[in-house]
Structures are given as structure tokens and as C-alpha cells.
Amino acid sequence: MDFNFNPEDEAFRTEFREWLKANKQFAPHMGETTIGMAEGRGEFDQQKKWAKKMAEGRWLAPSWPEKYGGRGAGILQNIVYGEELARAGVAAPMIGMGISLFGPTLLHWGTEEQKQRFIPPIMKAEEIWCQGYSEPGSGSDLASLQTRAVEDGDYFVVNGQKVWTSIAQHADWIFLLVRTDPDAPKHKGISYLMVDMHSLGVTVRPLVQITGNKGFNEVFFEDVRVPKKNLVGEKNQGWQVAITTLMFERSGGGGDRGGMSQVRELVNLAKSLPRNGATAWDDGSVRQKIAEFACEATALRYTGYRQLTRRLKGMPPGPEGSMMKLCGTELNMRIQLFAMELLGPYSQIEYKAPFAVDKGKWSFRMLAARGGTIAAGSNQIQHNIIGERVLGLPKG
């Protein structure tokens, strides 16, 4: 496999690197605002300002078509984009799911009228989107969802509840899965709606996590009227649209595939911690463990490149996305637990508390790590996908 980028991709890299050099001061500091979802209004406003700055340079969603404010960047340039963000030590703005999930889905399934209405405000960071998938009894088994939408003239009337809805407290819109035919098999009779979060009958309640964050929410819908023109794709065929969104969720093209940046942070942590008159890094067993993490992170990076090869050949993302998600989140958990071992008693000091090493970010990450094994399809589901689609095992 040729790991070199062509001259056009390298020119794209140079342009973005120079832009980041000139503008990275506008980005929220990595490890603080970006360590979790921006739950407070002040944190979120920082993220939104960064998004607007990137939008000015057409860097917010460079892979989107130029006619909608993107750059028409190809797959390899999208990889370059992620690599340069990681190199600069900044993150893409965390302002909901419009850029990462909904926008690409709408570009694929939406009507031209829908694209003209909704894509430009996303590209300008003017409208924030959240995702209405999971329900209290329908998480990993998403197709069992029970939120209902009943036709009433030119409207759907929606009743139900969604849960674990990221940044719903800041969102203007939600892309929502609803059941429009309760008598159809569970993968049928589902529709994909765009719903204004400011509509009468929408209620948002925060969910406090073990980290203390309140970025997740419950969202309740009580007789919410949604215009039929907000239907994406065909009525009762929303499962296909939903799967498109999930493919974008699991096959993102970030530059830090596998978490090598966290391995580098772990090296710096080990070098800063005193141990037996030296530092933890001087302990061979510590170096060996961190080297194991580095090897796994590198293997994950190249597994991601295998998926990239499929996309360059015009094929859809394959089971590598499930492999990346499964192995990446489990590696992340092991990294955080090892950081707790290195920190010893300091690991008990909470995030941003006085005397906390690295402002307590490792303790925060450790508490948050388990959630990664559940989000975007639990790791148990990923085991099933790999077993069935890679190993050819029968369904249980």
C-alpha cells in the first residue's frame, strides 16, 4: 500500500496548516473545554466561536460540496484534515451532530429544497443539531424504538421519549427516528424526521453523568407537530437513512486513529511523576506497558487505512468500523486505568481540583471511558457484527 499523499493532497495540507497556525488561538484549549461535551453556555459559546472562525475559512466541513460552502475535499484530504488538527493540538468544534452526522446524511438522502434550507446554516454554525435515536428501552436494539408519529393533514404528530441526547440543551434541531407504522416488522415502519427543538411540546432534561457532566439529556415529545416536508427519505423507509448516519458515526476520518495522541500524553505524564528518586518513565516496566499501547494504537491506525482503501475503491465502509470502535474504546479504557496506577493517590483528586495532576483530566477520562464502550453501538453489538460479517459465525 502506498502511504504517500499526492501533490494536490499535500497542497491542501500546507494550506490548512498555515491557516491553523494563523488562527489556532481562537480554538478552545485542548484538555479543558474539549475534554467533554460543552455543557455550560460559556463553554458552548467558545466552541461556537471556533466553529464560526473555521466556517469563515471554509474549514468547518471541507469534504462537503463547494456549492454548500465546503471545499469538495476528497477522502484522502479529509484524512489530512484530521492529521493537521491533531498536529496543531486542536480539535474540531464540538457543536452537536450537524457537521459529523446529519449534514452528510442529508446530502445523501435529502431533497434539493431540504439541502438548500438546512445545509448552509449548519456550515455557518448558525443552527445546532442533536441526534434522536436511543430510547429508555431501545439502545443497542435501536429498531425496537417506540416514539410514534401519526399523520394529521400536512403534519406528523410526535409522542415519545429519547435519551442520551448529546448537547440537546443547546440544539435548535433534532434528527429523529419515529415509528410511523406500528404494525410493520421492527426494521420497517420507521421514518426519519427533522424536528425543531423549539416546537411546543418538546422538553429537555439533563442527565448527570459519573463525571459530573450534564452534556447528555432526556428529550420528551408531547403532541409535537412536525411538517411533512421535514421527512427525510421515504415514509416508513427511515431505517436505511438511519443506517447511513450510523456509518458516518462509526467510520469517521479523524487523524488520530487509535489514540496515539493519548499515548504521547501518557509518556509525558510518566516523565513528570517522581518515583524512587527518578521518574515513572525510568521504570522499564512502565515504558514496556506504554510501548504496548503504542503498538496497539499503530495497529488501529493501519486498520483504519484498510477501511480507507475500501472507500477509495468506491466501496462502502466495511466491518473495519466495528473493529476500530471495539478495539479503540477498549484500548482507551486500558490507557486510563494505567494512568490511574501511575498517579496513585493523586488519581482520586477530581477534575480541576487543587493539586490535581494535569488538572485531573486523567481521572475525568477514566470515569468517562466506560461510556465509549456503549456509545455508537455497544461493544457487545460490535462483537456480533464482527462475528457475523467477518468470521461468518451464525447468529445467536
pLDDT digits (tens, 9 = 90+) for 286-326: 999 999 999 999 888 887 777 776 666 766 566 667 777 88
Residues of the chain falling short of pLDDT 70: 1-3, 29-40, 139-140, 248-258, 309-312, 314-320, 376, 396
Domains of the chain plus CATH, in order, are 7-95 (1.10.540.10), 129-236 (2.40.110.10), 256-389 (1.20.140.10)
Which amino acid does the sequence have at 224? V
Give residue 32's pLDDT.
45
Please choose, from the candidates 68, 141, 134, 136, the residue with its C-alpha nearest in 3D space to the C-alpha of residue 99: 68
Sequence-ordered list of residues with C-beta below 8 angstroms from that of 93, at least 6 positions apart, any chain: 47, 48, 50, 51, 54, 60, 99, 125
pLDDT of the residue at 60: 93
Q: What pLDDT is stored for residue 69 in this prediction?
A: 83
- Say which residues have a Cβ less than 8 Å from residue 277's Cβ, sequence separation at least 6: none
pLDDT at 311: 67
Calculate what percentage of the chain has a pLDDT beyond 70.
89
Q: Confirm if 179 and 164 have CB atoms less than 8 A apart.
A: no
Q: What pLDDT score was predicted for residue 347? A: 87
Catalytic site residue from 84, 249, 265, 320: 249
pLDDT of residue 359: 83
Task: Give the dihedral of Cα atoms 182, 186, 187, 190; nearest 10 deg.
Answer: 30
Q: What pLDDT does residue 314 have?
A: 66
Query: Does 249 participate in catalysis according to the annotation?
Result: yes
First to last CA, the chain: 36
